[in-house]
């Protein structure tokens, strides 16, 4: 695999590819909801609550191989300084090539660009790949709800992670203009 990797805002026409990617990536390691219906030509991840502008996609050698969804956690003005990662997935065939990290970096940069103070997320306690990824980008564990979900025959913690943004820097550590 070569390494022509870029991230960009999602477009409406990415909806079917992202649905397929999400469906294929489903596992109780990362998901608490039932698996979605098998994809058809009309399937899309986008609806009233899931808009293309909330997504960033990763392209590897021209193919969409992952996405991250970044949204305000609530519509409340008192909560408007927070952005939350509510969805991250990378095609199995493209994992361990830096795609996930590029997406999280891009989400953090977008949060900073819109003036957010912090980025938060929830991750299942047993999801070691995702937890390591978030830690490697600078997220820290800030809380935990023990045994929040019953998945695959056992109780699983829900872990809250967060990152406080330094408004002067991007994820590469360079000073913003
Ligand atoms: C978690 C996920 C997005 C990682 O994507 P990825 O493109 O493979 O991640 P990267 O290649 O950018 O890896 C970045 C770092 O994450 C950690 N990491 C990623 N996969 C890992 C694994 N299987 N085991 C241990 N650490 C892992 C490593 O620290 C890695 O850095 P390194 O390669 O320098 O060691 C991907 O495994 C995935 O889609 N999982 C299913 C969905 C999911 O769990 N989403 C998160 C929900 S909160």
Beta carbons of 72 and 79 less than 8 angstroms apart: yes
Residue with CA closest to ligand 1 atom 10:
98
Entry field: residues in the chain: 177
90 CB near ligand 1 (under 6 Å):
yes
If one counts the domains in the chain, the total is 1
Q: Is residue 169 part of a domain?
A: no
Q: What is the pLDDT of residues 73-91, one digit of tens each?
A: 999 999 999 999 999 999 9
Averaged over 33-57, what is the pLDDT?
97
Range of the domain at 55: 5-164
Instruction: Assess whether the C-beta atom of 92 lies below 6 angstroms from ligand 1.
Output: no
Q: Is 34 within a domain?
A: yes
pTM of the full structure: 0.94
Within a domain: residue 144? Answer: yes
Nearest atom within ligand 1 for CA of residue 136: 29
If you take atom 36 of ligand 1, which residue's CA is the nearest one?
90
Atom 21 of ligand 1, residue of closest alpha carbon: 129
- Mean pLDDT over 90-108 rounds to 98
**Residue 117, in any domain of the structure:** yes
Q: What is the mean pLDDT of the chain?
A: 94
Residue 96 lies in a domain: yes
Mean pLDDT for the stretch of residues 160-170: 84
Is residue 172, in this structure, part of any structural domain at all?
no
Could you tell me the CATH number of the domain that includes residue 21? 3.40.630.30
Output the DSSP codes for 3-27: --EEEEE--GGGHHHHHHHHHHH--
Q: Considering the domain boundaries, does residue 170 fall inside one?
A: no
pLDDT at 143 over 50: yes
**Per-residue pLDDT, 166:** 82
Please report the atom of ligand 1 found closest to the CA of residue 130. 1
Q: What is the pLDDT of residue 52?
A: 98
More confident residue, 171 or 167: 167
The verdict on residue 23 lying in a domain is: yes
């Amino acid at each position: 695999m070569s390494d022509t990797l870029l991230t960009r805002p999602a477009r409406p026409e990415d909806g079917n590819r992202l649905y397929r990617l999400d469906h294929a990536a489903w596992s109780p390691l990362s998901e608490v909801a039932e698996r979605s219906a098998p994809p058809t030509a009309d399937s899309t991840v986008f609806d009233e609550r899931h808009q293309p502008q909330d997504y960033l996609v990763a392209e590897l050698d021209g193919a969409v191989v992952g996405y991250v969804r970044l949204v305000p956690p609530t519509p409340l003005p008192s909560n408007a300084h927070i952005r939350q990662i509510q969805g991250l997935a990378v095609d199995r065939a493209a994992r361990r090539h830096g795609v996930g990290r590029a997406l999280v970096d891009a989400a953090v940069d977008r949060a900073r660009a819109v003036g957010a103070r912090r980025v938060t997320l929830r991750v299942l306690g047993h999801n070691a790949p995702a937890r390591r990824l978030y830690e490697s980008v600078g997220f820290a564990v800030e809380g935990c709800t023990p045994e929040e979900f019953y998945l695959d025959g056992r109780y699983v913690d829900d872990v809250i992670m967060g990152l406080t943004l330094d408004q002067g820097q991007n994820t590469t550590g360079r000073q913003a203009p």
